[in-house]
Structure 1
Amino acid sequence: MDIAEDIYTNIEEVSFKGWDDLTAGYATLHMGPQDGTRLKSGNENSQPSRLATLSLGLLCVLLLATVISLSVHYHKKHNQLSRLQISYNNLTEQEQKYQNTVSEQENKISEMQILFNNLTDENHKLQNKISKKECCFQDWRSFLSGCYYLSLVGKTWSESREDCKDRGADLVIINSREEQVFLNQLGNNLHYWIGLTDSEKEGTWRWVDGTTPPTPQFWRQGEPNNAHEDENCVVFNSFTNSLGNIWSWNDQPCSLKTNWVCEYTLTSS
């Protein structure tokens, strides 16, 4: 190789080396600080990036699980609320029915109260009439101005009179033939106490109101006879004689237990 070729070759090597150096210098001059950091730490940051990605994945899984759990919890609560709403609606319906029933019962009670008040008023009026003896008691029979009660059991003369007094009356006093006939119609083949006695004085007959002598008198034939020496009270013997035999009284021991007739007199209203 001659001297000229050798010089040319050296120049060419120097030229290319210089160009490479210039290119490298230019790149170095225009490279920022972060570019340098990435070049130095690229391999060093690859491990934290993977950890960050894994953590982000785990966080997503946790969030998904939380969302699913909340969704299940919400549906349970929603079902519970639905059942509670149904129960509430049923209770409301039952309460309405109960209120309707209570209203109906209150209306019935009000009607019954009105009826009771009316009956009470009627009873008071009736009691006033009875206390004034303007009408006969229940189960009593009326004749002219009197009311009469025939007992269904037997007691002594004194017990019978006490019963009559408890009823606001006394043993019957017979003042007329018509009354004698009426008493005979109370029943057939009966005998009952009347308000006539000679207990205070033998042979002196008095009605329970103290009047004497009794007028008129309807003694049976041969009566009074004091057959047992203690026949001081009088019984009435009913008769069925079509001939109109009204003589039916006879004296008996006052301890005899038989039926009796009570009487009270009506007053004008």
Structure 2
Amino acid sequence: MASATYNNVHSDGRQTARINIDVLVLTRITSIEQKMEQLKHNYTQSLMYIRCIENSSASECDQFLIQQCPERWVLNNNQCYFFSSVHETWERSQNICKSYEADLVIITDSTKQAFITKTIANDYFWIGLTDVEQENQWKWVDGSRLESRFWHCDQPDDAFGGEDCVFAGYIGPCTPEPGQVLNNWNDENCAHVQQFICEKKPSLVRMQLPL
């Protein structure tokens, strides 16, 4: 009996380690892809700026300024994103984003939801959606009402009452319908701690041409 118990534990431990390694590799691959995409974007903009400078004055070429995000932020589709490694309450998360001159992420279309879903890899991250002011009246942190919805198939459920804040990355017991693979939002008590995603506009940096 003791031997069988040991074998089961050993098998579970080995499976867990393999899953953790897979998640780590996926996270690294995603990070590399994001960095390559940013480098590709900057390189393209640089070439366009240089060609413009050759034929125009610098002031006429501002449309080719390079978008730049702070260190540890990710540039995607003209926005900068910060994916935290620490866990905070929803309110504390929003306050931290504010300190970065940002907000918790606002997701208004499937393109952004797909990017978020791919990046967080089924981990839980607060987003900027809440109905704390009025139950079932969901609003984003900028005051706009919820339009595009990516709720998991059994959510929101306000389980136990007081689930007024939303996180992405949820995988629940129900099976999403075909075509709803991006649906991973869940309502949660705002006092719970999760990782979080901040969002802000990138800085615009003028190309420094070589002498």
User: TM-score band, normalised by the shorter chain?
Assistant: 0.5 to 0.7
Deviation at 1:222, TM superposition (A): 2.0
Aligned counterpart, 1:257: 193
Matches within 5 A, 1:193-208: 193-208=126-141
Does residue 162 (structure 1) correspond to residue 98 (structure 2)? The answer is: no
Deviation at 1:188, TM superposition (A): 2.1
Unaligned runs of 5+ in 2: 1-65, 206-211
Q: Is the 8 A contact 2:69 2:203 kept in 1?
A: no
Q: How far does the alpha carbon of each residue in 1:10-49 deviate from its partner, in whole angstroms, 9 at most, with x for none?
A: xxxxxxxxxxxxxxxxxxxxxxxxxxxxxxxxxxxxxxxx
Q: Is the 8 A contact 2:75 2:81 kept in 1?
A: yes
Q: How far does the alpha carbon of each residue in 1:101-158 deviate from its partner, in whole angstroms, 9 at most, with x for none?
A: xxxxxxxxxxxxxxxxxxxxxxxxxxxxxxxx94211110111111100000100000
Aligned counterpart, 2:122: 189
Deviation at 1:185, TM superposition (A): 1.7
TM-score normalised by the chain length of structure 2? 0.59
Mapped partners of 1:268, 1:215: distance in 2: 30
Deviation at 1:243, TM superposition (A): 7.0
Does residue 234 (structure 1) correspond to residue 166 (structure 2)? The answer is: yes
Q: How many residues align?
A: 136
Mapped partners of 1:178, 1:246: distance in 2: 10
Greater Cα radius of gyration, structure 1 or 2: 1
Deviation at 1:159, TM superposition (A): 0.4
SS of the residue 1:185 aligns to = helix
Deviation at 1:175, TM superposition (A): 1.4
Displaced runs of 4 or more, over 3 A: 241-244, 266-269
Deviation at 1:215, TM superposition (A): 1.9
Corresponding residue to 1:135 among 68, 80, 92: 68
Deviation at 1:184, TM superposition (A): 1.1
Mapped partners of 1:248, 1:172: distance in 2: 15
Mapped partners of 2:97, 2:120: distance in 1: 19
Corresponding residue to 1:209 among 132, 142, 147: 142
Q: Is the 8 A contact 1:145 1:266 kept in 2?
A: yes
Aligned counterpart, 2:106: 173
Structure 1 residue identity aligned to 2:120: G
Larger helix percent: 1
Cα 1:260–1:198 change in 2 (3 A) is same
Corresponding residue to 2:157 among 225, 230, 240: 225
Q: Which has the higher contact order (CA 8 A, sep 6+)?
A: 2
SS of the residue 2:127 aligns to = strand
Q: Is the 8 A contact 2:123 2:169 kept in 1?
A: yes
Structure 2 residue identity aligned to 1:139: R
Aligned counterpart, 2:4: none
Deviation at 1:266, TM superposition (A): 3.4
RMSD across aligned C-alpha pairs, in angstroms? 2.4
Structure 1 residue identity aligned to 2:186: N
Mapped partners of 2:122, 2:138: distance in 1: 25
TM-score normalised by the chain length of structure 1? 0.47
